Amino acid sequence: MLTPIPVLGFAAYSGTGKTTLLKQLIPLLAARGLRVGVVKHAHHDFDMDTPGKDSYELREAGASQVLVASHKRWVLTYEKRRSAEPALADAVGHLCVDELDLVLVEGFKHESFAKIELHRPSVGKPPLYPGDPNIIAVVTDGAPPVATELPLLDINRPDAVADFVLGWLRGSAVRGDDPRRDLVRYYRWLRQYGYNDSHSGNASVRDEDGFWVTPTGACADTLSAADLVRCPLHGACPDGASLDAPLHQMVYQRNTGAGAVLHSHGPHSVAVTLNGRDFSPVDFEGQYYFDRIPVISIPYDRYLEQAPDRVASALTSHKIAVVRGHGVYARAENLNLAYKWTCSLESSAKTYSIARQLRNVAEV
């Protein structure tokens, strides 16, 4: 969902205490300097007006919009012409977002946007996080009923929840044209479409005099732009950067036109190159993009020492290379193109492996 302001939801079954938590959280966020707005989904027949009030009588007389304004606040009542579920993006659009830093949302749990789940085992309902990839943390007063790597926050520690929200906001407040946003998006796609598992692979993007790289142990499902590590083009990469950061650095040093490097573990790409021989696609598209994909064999225990130089060497004359038994490295001018090479190779490898199973093609 595209909104002009960071939007963070609180999802839970009724009776879990969403409003109570929000009432505790809002003053803590305000104390941290944030201007907070709230959008709350309500029952269909809710009404803030009551019979006898002037605003109620004017609306009942047939006014389709009533704006009541004083020197302190204004309230707009808008009568919808057709009954329909409100969309969150529309609701946020009614706010004066220039005067806010963050919008907290209660309800709208079926819409796709970042949410914190409130889970109380005593309510007796199943958790939402196993089925909602938008959930970024769980606030609970018990053990998680389904194992998860999501951050777990104590429902009785609203200050810890406020700190988490602040950290999330810093990560999401990255500018729209910041390359970190794109890097996180592509790294997630590699995971979502099966080129990596939750924590495998890594990725980087050039930015001015250095590059951003995923952190060591990054989880593609929960990574945010604020987690990325900045590395220089020359010299040591900082602690916390991917163990492959020196490899990415060497690729950029040897290819001044390189703008992105993606490392993934596409299972077909790895499987068809296990024989250690360079791979030549048998399908037209693969042949069009790649004449030959070099396959590099590096002993497991010499990986960190040998991989940077050997992969970077292969990527000076090839846009993509495979390390035997491990994975794929693609370099390109930008993330989109590196992603395309990664996807194309996996597709060619998949076609080839199906053709081999059908005995329709000779071994390459």
Residues that bind Zn ion (CB under 5 A): 327
Q: Decide if 338 contacts 187 (C-beta within 8 A).
A: no
Q: Which is nearer to Zn ion, 153 or 345 (CB)?
A: 345
Q: φ, ψ for residue 252 (rounded to 5)?
A: -70, -35
* CB 202 to Zn ion: min, Å: 7
Q: Which is nearer to Zn ion, 136 or 335 (CB)?
A: 335
Look at the chain and count its residues: 364
Rounded distance, CA 220 to CA 224, Å? 9
Q: Which is nearer to Zn ion, 9 or 201 (CB)?
A: 201
* CB 329 to Zn ion: min, Å: 9
Token representation of residue 133:
């990839």
Q: Which is nearer to Zn ion, 281 or 327 (CB)?
A: 327
* CB 200 to Zn ion: min, Å: 6
Residue with tokens 């595209």: 2
* CB 196 to Zn ion: min, Å: 8
Q: Which residue is nearest to Zn ion (CB)?
A: 327
| Separation in Å, CA 273 to CA 148, 223, 277, 340, 356 | 34, 30, 6, 19, 13
Rounded distance, CA 248 to CA 315, Å? 11
* CB 254 to Zn ion: min, Å: 20
Q: What is the 3-state secondary structure (H, E, C) of 9-29?
A: EEECCCCCCHHHHHHHHHHHH
Name residue 93's amino acid: G
Residue with tokens 């029952």: 43
Q: Which is nearer to Zn ion, 319 or 326 (CB)?
A: 326
